[in-house]
Amino acid sequence: MSDGHTPGRIGIVTAGTTAPWAQFVGEGGIVAMADREGPQNPPDAALAPFIVFSNRVSRGAPNASYTIVGNVKTEDEFAGAVDELVDAGLDMVVWWSLALSIGSDGAAPSAAERSVRRGAERGTIFVYPCYSGPRVDLPSVAPVGGVEPSPPGIAVCPPPPNDSLQPPVVVSWGDWMSFRLAWRAAGITDELQERDPGMNPHCLAVWSIAAWLGLGLNAPAVGRGRLDVRGLRRVCVPVTVQPSALNPVLGMFEPRFLDRFRA
């Protein structure tokens, strides 16, 4: 390509089915999508909005390519999907609709943990909400937390019912108004609807982190190498959240810094 940029390759694993979006394969960077067999879950209504949003954030760089595995219902199916995406050489794997076991210290690693660790050791980036597992302490693994204003500071958004939170590597805005205003300040205005889409707040934060990392994956291919999520530190601000036990390792990603730190 004349500008020296190569599209990043992003995998999405979802509990929802992808059938409603099958007609869009070949458009917007979607190269493949397939559902796991068995009983069908409801469609993932967030798939198309995320891809449109992620492509909009790239602003002139080639769109990323997306490979989607849907209707994932068990941890073993998840592990298999991750293995397939890693073996296909994808740069990043993202999920927001799965709540996998976080695991505990000393426990035997789950199938999901083994697959994520294997992928991370090969350089694949993993971005997912901090109420979902697994817990893998490697540089390219980023459980993400959503935060919201809670004067005089900010607070981590609550987890979905029956889930718990692990300390996030990074946080970003999880409430719709703050998310939308921050991205508008970064110049992303035409793909953000006025009305709250009802997304889980931690999922909104995943969208921000995944979109920005996807922009980094569009860096010039020569010498690009694999991206370390700790590169996020340069677009994060130090932050103390409530509860303090969930303080993020890298700080808070602020979309308003996007222009300053574009790849």
10-residue averages of pLDDT along the chain (263 residues): 62 93 85 94 88 80 86 94 95 90 71 94 93 88 95 92 90 92 83 70 92 73 53 83 94 78 46
The structure tokens listed for 152 are 């005089």
Distance of CA 98 to the CA centre of its chain: 12
Give phi and psi for 75, each to the nearest 5.
-65, -35
pLDDT digits (tens, 9 = 90+) for 91-107: 999 999 888 887 666 56
What is the set of domains in the chain, with CATH numbers? 9-261 (3.40.50.200)
* Backbone Cα Rg of the chain: 17
Distance between CA atoms of residues 140 and 138, nearest Å:
6
Number of C-beta neighbours around residue 32 at 10 A? 14
Q: Is the peptide bond before 134 cis (omega within 30 degrees of 0)?
A: yes
Would you call 12 helix, strand, or coil by DSSP? strand
Cα separation, 85 vs 99, whole angstroms: 19
Residue 167 gets which letter from DSSP?
A: P
pTM score, whole prediction: 0.90
Q: In sequence order, which residues have a C-beta less than 8 Å from that of residue 131 and are 6 or more positions away?
A: 99, 159, 160, 163, 164, 165, 166, 202
Q: Are 201 and 148 in contact (CB under 8 A)?
A: yes
CA dist 7 and 215 (Å) reads 9
